[in-house]
Amino acid sequence: MFCNLAAMAQQPVQAQKSPTQVQQQHTRPANQKTPAEKMKSKPWNWKRQFFQNMTTRYNYYFHANLQLQGILAGVNRERQENYSEFLPFYPYSAESLNLNQSDLDSVITRASIAIQIHDARGKWIDDCYLLIGKAYYYKADWENADKTFAFINMNFAPKKKDEYKTVVGQSKNSQLSIATREKRKGVVGKMKHKSARNDAFLWQAKSYLEQGKYDDAQSLLNILSEDPYYPKRLHGSLAEMQAFRLYKQERYLESIEPLKVAIKDTDDKIQRARMQYILGQIYDYNKQPDSALVAFRDVLSFHPDPLMDFHARLEIAKNNILAEGGSLEESLAALEKMLKKENFIPYRDVIYFTMAEIAMPEDEARAEEFLQRSLKEPSDNTVQKAVTYYTLANMRYDDRNYAAAKKYYDSAAAVMPNDFSAAEIINARKDVLNEVDANIALIHQEDSLQAIAAMDPSSRNIFLEKRASEMKAEAKRKAALFGRENNSFYVPPSAEVTQQRLMNSNPLYAQQNGGQGNVNGSMGDWYFYNPVTKSSGLQEFKRRWGNRPLVDNWRRSAAAGIGTNARMPGDLSALDSVEAQLLSRNMEALPADSITVELLSKNLPLTPELLQQSKQKQMNAGFDLGKLYHDKLENLPEAIKAYDTLLIKFPEHPRKPEILYSLYVWNDQASNTQAAERYKNQLLKDYGATEFARAIRGVKFENVDDQNNKAALALYDSAYINYLSGNYDIVLQNKKAADSLYQKYPHQAQFEILNSMALAKLGDEAGAKAALEAVIQKYTADDEIIAKAQSLLNVMNHKQELVDYLSGLQVQNTDDKTRKVDENINIVYPWQRPDPKLVDSTQLQKAKDSLQNITPEPPPKPKTPYKLKGDDLTAANPHFVVLSFNRVEKAMIDKGVAQFSKYNAEKHAGEGIEVSSFVLTPTDIMLIFRLFPNEEAALKYWGEVQKEAPKSIIPHINPKDYSIFIISRENFILLNTSKDLQGYKEFFESNYELN
């Protein structure tokens, strides 16, 4: 990889096959040469050079490059940008392009043919290889893309005439250079062919970034930025790639400076406008309205596409309010003028949304009016509709108006694209509110059915006859509205009808299925047999209508669900809830004339058994409703109200002890002291023998908490002690009891891990693995829990290799007859060995017996000559700050890198402090902060992070799990050589004041 390019300097290049050679080796005999290979023996005179370069460039490279640019232009036209969030750095994501693979394969084929039939000494051969690498990149075929770019680097590296092999890298004034030097002075020099190898370096870095290999990309880009021979024409592209790296890692403040350089020096005008817009977004995100205002105004000077121009004007209006001298009314007036302009008519929905955004902080009612106007504007912009619905839903959700919020979340989910940034939140809240709405609807339905059933028979019949007449009239009205025959509910067409319609619309269908059809028709003439037109049509459909399910009458039903109150005749949600319940068992192809009093009476709870079933439904729904309000919506008042209502209606609820306990805890959390005390006393008095009473008996009122109740903690503590004692069955019993009694409780994740360990101890390895995998899936936000579970899972998956590894340790007798383990062993995990040694059971048992009485002899403590360099702390002496972890956990290390990078971007922007992980030994992992010019600067930063790390940077990591110190460059070299980390820590503590 290019992160090791410094080590590759002055090394000869090994023979490497090109991508085209790999493709061709199975398609022709081994002794048959390609035209390119045959031409190597011919003289490379000016005539051959001229014709070979011309035909390679204009007959093959030109057309392949033109085809690739056309593919990308099509993607740019079809993409809908979401300007309400950070734009992607490029107008595409390589992994989500969904490009036609055959089109990209065609680019690869054209370029490969050019390489195979033309002289390899031609100037445009490396450009053809670069095209192949780009095509693989856009296919997200990272392996072949990396191989192609590496091939260009190795095989087209500059070579002196007297050198037999190419040397990658050279030293120039103590600087490493890996670039191909370009002589471009004067008019003739600028017209010369440019080396594609220099471009391939940037594409290699780009490929690394798409794969998340940030360290590899940073290493390569750092070398190129210091390379004295890297061509000036690519300095803008190099800055662009540096900005892309930082932007992709969400290090926005750090990306500002390289963005400015890239905007100034990059040749691509479209990308320059995009980067300028992103720069404005970064300033806006970091509350710098004056800088954002300037950046968005500069976007207009690039004359971008109409949509970006439009959004830049919106951002100018928004930031004008916050900038010095701006006002709300001034910005709204500017937006009102945009509404009147003809060229902005297609974007009126976005203008109204922007007006709502800037009005929201001062006048929420006015903002909602603008949002409603945005929805009324006719538009094909489904992304904007999703954003508007989502904003309205959040407003109603924050107001605790869940019924209205549910409707808006449903609408947002219906129109949002798959990659919508808030899709996860929308779906989660929609599902919760659907549960709440279903429980409320069920309670009301059962109330209505019970009320009807409680009527005297004559009054009930009169009521049902009236309702049946109303339902018949409504059904007829809707049938006429939608053109249905026989006044019946909609029935989907049968398979025979569907087949006949298909045969009528497509004669080829009849021909292929044995019928009579148009035998002269060409398969390629029908729209759905042409993959290009079909794909184009699908993209256009998604652009206009969003992601819609494949159902009958999608357009009518979707429009009804969003824009009007009309419904399909078969959709009972348009009927009264009582009618829906009455017809729930009798709706299949139900004609309107079939709605009778007898039919409506079937689902009424007219017997004691049915009445009890109806009440049980209400009790269950009421109990679930209270839990939903508290656990998922975090709405204490509504949760308390739901359970109070439930106890008033059903004073003998079968789960009354748990309801009383919940009311006690919730009122305590809401500071309703008297109500909490009342429910507590009632629980202790009437249900003193229950687990809920035992959980609060003897515990002070203010110390009891639903999330940290003492009973669950007692069960966990008991399970832990029994695990240590070898009583694994009791661990399983306690876990089962905790799950049955409490929905959530303290140390629940740790309890589940302890449960999996007990299962493993009892021999149920499959159950233990399943439990650990469930923990990983359940606690996705808890990095520490995931790391622990994954570590245990890795050990279980490699149990046999670990046993074999331990059995293979060599045991030796020393002169004093004691035994010790041979320490001359590489510390490598057993499952990382390509070919682990297996031993028989006899040898394994002997090894286990011999290890029982081992008394390891401690190794001699290394003495490393660490030293200080003078007393002047400001003298030029490069230093590092090091954070050393006391235990190795990948999740913890990755989290540390991310958090410190974010901290440096916010607190030390522009100082160039970089943080990366460093492996001293397999058990000593560090974070290196570099580079500080002298000891004083390093000490200042060390003192700062020493205080801030446990408070705000990495508060989730126990301070006992790491230590922070500074080290000079000379001492770091000694440390890396001796691996004596403990020795340096002692040296640091004895020579620096740590107060």
Q: What is the pLDDT of residues 139-166, one digit of tens each?
A: 888 889 999 998 988 888 876 655 444 4
- Of the pLDDT bands very low, low, confident and very high (cuts 50, 70, 90), residue 790 is confident
Peptide bond into 994 cis (omega under 30): no
Biggest alpha carbon–alpha carbon distance for the chain: 113
- Gap between the Cα atoms of 897 and 253, Å rounded: 16
What is the predicted pLDDT for the residue at 205?
92
Model confidence pLDDT, tens digit, residues 559-594:
433 333 333 333 333 334 455 455 444 444 456 566
Contact indicator for 230, 179 with CB cutoff of 8 Å: yes
Model confidence pLDDT, tens digit, residues 347-397:
888 888 888 888 888 888 888 999 999 898 888 888 888 899 999 998 988
- Gap between the Cα atoms of 497 and 514, Å rounded: 17
User: What integer is the mean pLDDT of 84-103?
Assistant: 70
- Contact partners, residue 796, CB within 8 Å, separation at least 6: 760, 765, 768, 769, 772
| Helices 62-78/531-545 angle, 10° precision | 30
Model confidence pLDDT, tens digit, residues 186-219:
666 667 778 888 899 999 999 999 888 888 888 8
3-class state of residue 771 by DSSP? helix
User: What integer is the mean pLDDT of 278-284?
Assistant: 92
- Gap between the Cα atoms of 718 and 683, Å rounded: 25
Cα–Cα nearest to 349, from 316, 314, 319, 388: 388
- Gap between the Cα atoms of 256 and 278, Å rounded: 9
- What percent of the chain clears pLDDT 90, i.e. is strictly above it? 8
- Contact partners, residue 903, CB within 8 Å, separation at least 6: 945, 948, 952, 953
Location of structure tokens 């929308």: 426
- Contact partners, residue 546, CB within 8 Å, separation at least 6: 382, 386, 414, 415, 416, 417
What is the per-residue DSSP string for 516-530? ---TT--GGGSGGG-
- Gap between the Cα atoms of 620 and 624, Å rounded: 6
What is the per-residue DSSP string for 52-106? HHHHIIIIIIHHHHHHHHHHHHHHHHH----TTSPPPSSSS-GGG----HHHHHH
Contact indicator for 244, 251 with CB cutoff of 8 Å: no
Model confidence pLDDT, tens digit, residues 212-245:
888 888 888 988 888 888 888 888 899 999 999 9
What is the predicted pLDDT for the residue at 59?
85
Neighbours of 16 (CB within 10 A): 12
Model confidence pLDDT, tens digit, residues 445-476:
888 888 888 888 888 888 888 888 887 787 77
In whole numbers, what is the pLDDT of the chain averaged over residues? Answer: 75
Model confidence pLDDT, tens digit, residues 863-873:
667 777 777 77
- Of the pLDDT bands very low, low, confident and very high (cuts 50, 70, 90), residue 841 is very low
Long-range Cβ contacts of 796-802 (<8 Å, 24+ apart):
796/760, 796/765, 796/768, 796/769, 796/772, 797/769, 797/831, 798/829, 798/830, 798/831, 799/765, 801/830, 801/831, 801/833, 801/836, 802/830
What is the predicted pLDDT for the residue at 965?
92
Distance of CA 177 to the CA centre of its chain: 37
User: What integer is the mean pLDDT of 108-118?
Assistant: 86
Cα–Cα nearest to 310, from 381, 213, 260, 413: 381
**What is the set of domains in the chain, with CATH numbers?**
33-80+88-158 (no CATH), 336-414 (1.25.40), 421-477+593-639 (no CATH), 654-700 (no CATH), 704-803 (1.25.40.10), 879-990 (3.30.70)
- Contact partners, residue 302, CB within 8 Å, separation at least 6: 269, 272, 273, 276
What is the predicted pLDDT for the residue at 663?
92
- Gap between the Cα atoms of 409 and 428, Å rounded: 10
**What region, left, alpha or beta, does residue 581 occupy, with left being phi > 0 and alpha being psi -120 to 50 degrees?**
alpha
Contact indicator for 583, 590 with CB cutoff of 8 Å: yes
- Of the pLDDT bands very low, low, confident and very high (cuts 50, 70, 90), residue 246 is very high
Neighbours of 241 (CB within 10 A): 27
Supply 123's token pair.
């100037």
The whole model's pTM is what?
Answer: 0.46
Is the pLDDT at 275 greater than 90? The verdict is yes
3-class state of residue 549 by DSSP? coil
Model confidence pLDDT, tens digit, residues 956-976:
888 888 899 999 888 888 887
- Contact partners, residue 354, CB within 8 Å, separation at least 6: 314, 317, 318, 335
What would the 3-class secondary structure string for 911-971 be?
CCCEEEEEEEECCEEEEEEEEECCHHHHHHHHHHHHHHHHHHHCCCCCHHHEEEEEEEHHH
Is the pLDDT at 402 greater than 70? The verdict is yes
419-423, 573-577, 653-657: least confident range: 573-577
What is the predicted pLDDT for the residue at 68?
86
**Amino acid identity at 704:** V
- What percent of the chain clears pLDDT 70, i.e. is strictly above it? 71
Location of structure tokens 């009126």: 348
What is the per-residue DSSP string for 838-891? ---HHHHHHHHHHHHT--PPPPPPP--------S-TTSS--EEEEEEESS--HH
Which residues pair with residue 378 across a beta bridge?
none
3-class state of residue 588 by DSSP? coil
User: What integer is the mean pLDDT of 314-341?
Assistant: 82
Is the pLDDT at 282 greater than 90? The verdict is yes
- Gap between the Cα atoms of 628 and 386, Å rounded: 26
- Greater confidence (636 vs 12) lies with 636
Is the pLDDT at 770 greater than 60? The verdict is yes
Model confidence pLDDT, tens digit, residues 705-724:
444 456 777 777 778 767 77
What is the predicted pLDDT for the residue at 882?
93
Burial profile 430-456: b = 16 or more Cβ within 10 angstroms, e = fewer: bebbebbeebbebbebbebbbebbeee
